[in-house]
């Protein structure tokens, strides 16, 4: 029995900052970002948008496009590292939004939860739901990857920002992709990128204080929530390469395949922290699969030979055929954390829907900081072209609106109180409770026609 993805829908910000504008204002050579990292635009959420609104819009698009009723969905599992509450999952925020359209109690018997492991959480959510449907093939699940990738202004990660959500229908006899059971895994507990609980002493705010109550806080330390991570870019890249390489060869060992697994794949969907991260990483797998290619390259040192390998005809053709298709949307949206690998999948499928394909097998290489990588594959099913066309992905990308650098910084600092583009035909965050003591922080979302 086949189990996999039958439908995909995507939601992302309507606003973007041209990468040239960011480069100019940060005194960075624009070509380093455009030619070196593959960046064109950086999407950024409007005032009314967050992880929940992106997820809600994606799932409503999916339900509508597939003419599904919420009562037909047994599970809604969300992969995210940008939750808006430390207890209440994003998935539970979605229920009243869905019921606003489909009726009270229409989601009452749906199991919901969030899974978090940096950028790989949605892959974990998907594999959990795939296993569930294998056990109960009459059931349907929806998996959503939703995140806001935000970094400090002026930091080394600022130009990799992005946001959005990808919703996927998981069922037996899928229309788009069916997944193989084999998964290569590599894990290690590291601190390459993380979002710690931060605190500040009350004495730093008031030197004369003796732990007075402050906005309901009785502890001597005040907790600080910050969306931006703590990260070491160079170390994070090293972890990314190490984990992905180990997971790939763990996958190959299980498949007992003599030739390189990637040569069987039509294209590769990878987690892309920035657009060209995949092509700048995959050389390490190629070098081990084809040591003779590395040996024959010019150069005195291994590093020089590796650099030469990336310019070889073999590697350039591999990049163009197997990596480029999944980069197209990433270059215009940016990093969306858990959704990055699935955005790459949708990008490649949309790119190839009117082109001849050589193989029906797709490779997936996932990564989450902290750190874990998974490598697995899927087979294209016969209705994938009709299903991916429903996303209108590239057309939707061209309908986004450019903002200037001043507006971007104001949005980043949360200095703007009203939306840059008024919400229309979408779910919007409309209020956060400030007064009621038993509802402080409650977030209200409404579908704005």
Q: How many domains does the chain have?
A: 2
pLDDT level of residue 211 (50, 70, 90 thresholds): confident
Domain shared by 98 and 207, yes or no: no
Check which CATH number belongs to the domain holding 444 and give it: 3.40.47.10
Domain shared by 413 and 442, yes or no: yes
- 3-class state of residue 281 by DSSP: helix
Domain shared by 65 and 114, yes or no: yes
Signed CA dihedral, 350, 353, 355, 356: sign only:
positive
* pLDDT tens readout for residues 368-391: 999 999 999 999 999 999 999 999
* pLDDT tens readout for residues 6-19: 999 999 999 999 99
* pLDDT tens readout for residues 145-201: 999 999 999 999 999 999 999 999 999 999 999 999 999 999 999 999 999 999 888
pLDDT recorded at residue 204: 78
Long-range contacts of 148-153 (CB under 8 A, 24+ apart): 148/45, 148/50, 148/51, 148/54, 148/82, 148/227, 148/337, 149/82, 149/334, 149/335, 149/336, 149/337, 150/227, 150/228, 150/412, 151/228, 151/229, 152/228, 153/409, 153/412, 153/413
Domain shared by 407 and 438, yes or no: yes
Domain shared by 82 and 211, yes or no: no
pLDDT level of residue 202 (50, 70, 90 thresholds): confident
273 exposed, middle or buried (CB, 10 Å; 0-12, 13-18, 19+)? buried
Domain boundary among 177, 208, 224: 224
pLDDT recorded at residue 223: 85
Domain shared by 318 and 205, yes or no: no
The answer on pLDDT for 332 being more than 80 is: yes
The answer on pLDDT for 207 being more than 90 is: no
Distance, in Å, from the CA atom of 13 to the CA atom of 276, rounded to the nearest integer, reads 21
Domain shared by 33 and 12, yes or no: yes
Which run of H or of E encompasses 269? strand 268-270
Domain shared by 25 and 36, yes or no: yes
Domain shared by 112 and 210, yes or no: no
Decide: 3 and 134 in contact? Cβ < 8 Å.
yes
Within 13 Å of residue 238, how many CA atoms lie on the same side as its CB?
8
Domain shared by 348 and 218, yes or no: no
Domain shared by 163 and 278, yes or no: yes
Signed CA dihedral, 47, 48, 52, 55: sign only:
negative
- Structural domain boundaries, residue 136: 3-192+232-448
Domain shared by 209 and 136, yes or no: no
């Amino acid at each position: 029995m086949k189990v996999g993805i039958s439908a995909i829908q995507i939601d992302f910000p309507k606003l973007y900052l041209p990468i040239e504008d960011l480069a100019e204002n940060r005194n960075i050579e624009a070509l380093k970002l455009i030619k070196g990292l593959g960046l064109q635009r950086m999407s950024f959420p409007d005032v009314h948008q967050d992880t929940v609104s992106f997820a809600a819009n994606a799932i409503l698009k999916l339900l509508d496009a597939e003419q599904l009723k919420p009562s037909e969905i047994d599970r809604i599992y969300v992969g995210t590292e940008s939750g808006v509450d430390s207890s209440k999952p994003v998935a539970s925020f979605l229920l009243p939004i869905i019921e606003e359209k489909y009726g009270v109690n229409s989601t009452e018997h749906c199991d919901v939860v969030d899974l978090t492991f940096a950028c790989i959480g949605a892959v974990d959510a998907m594999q959990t739901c795939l296993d569930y449907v294998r056990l109960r093939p009459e059931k349907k699940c929806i998996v959503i990857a939703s995140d806001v990738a935000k970094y400090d202004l002026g930091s080394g990660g600022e130009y990799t920002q992005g946001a959005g959500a990808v919703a996927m229908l998981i069922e037996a006899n899928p229309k788009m992709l069916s997944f193989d059971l084999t998964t290569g895994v590599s894990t290690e507990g590291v601190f390459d990128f993380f979002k710690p609980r931060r605190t500040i002493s009350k004495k730093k705010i008031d030197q004369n204080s003796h732990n007075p109550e402050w906005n309901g806080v009785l502890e001597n330390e005040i907790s600080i929530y910050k969306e931006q991570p703590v990260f070491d870019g160079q170390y994070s890249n090293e972890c990314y390469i190490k984990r992905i390489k180990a997971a790939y060869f763990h996958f190959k060992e299980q498949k007992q395949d003599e030739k390189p697994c990637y040569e069987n794949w039509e294209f590769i969907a990878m987690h892309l922290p920035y657009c060209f991260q995949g092509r700048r990483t995959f050389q390490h797998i190629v070098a081990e699969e084809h040591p003779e290619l590395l040996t024959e390259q010019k150069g005195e040192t291994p590093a020089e030979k590796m650099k030469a390998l990336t310019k070889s005809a073999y590697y350039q053709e591999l990049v163009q055929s197997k990596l480029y298709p999944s980069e197209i949307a990433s270059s215009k949206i940016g990093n969306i954390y858990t959704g990055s690998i699935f955005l790459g999948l949708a990008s490649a499928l949309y790119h190839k829907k009117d082109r001849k394909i050589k193989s029906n097998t797709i490779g997936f290489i996932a990564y989450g900081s902290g750190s874990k990588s998974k490598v697995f594959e899927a087979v294209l099913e016969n209705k994938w072209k009709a299903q991916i066309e429903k996303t209108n992905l590239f057309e939707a990308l061209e309908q986004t609106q450019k903002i200037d650098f001043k507006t971007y910084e104001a949005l980043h600092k949360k200095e703007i109180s009203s939306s840059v583009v008024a919400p229309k035909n979408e779910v919007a965050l409309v209020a956060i409770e400030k007064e009621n003591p038993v509802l402080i922080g409650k977030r209200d979302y409404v579908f704005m026609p």
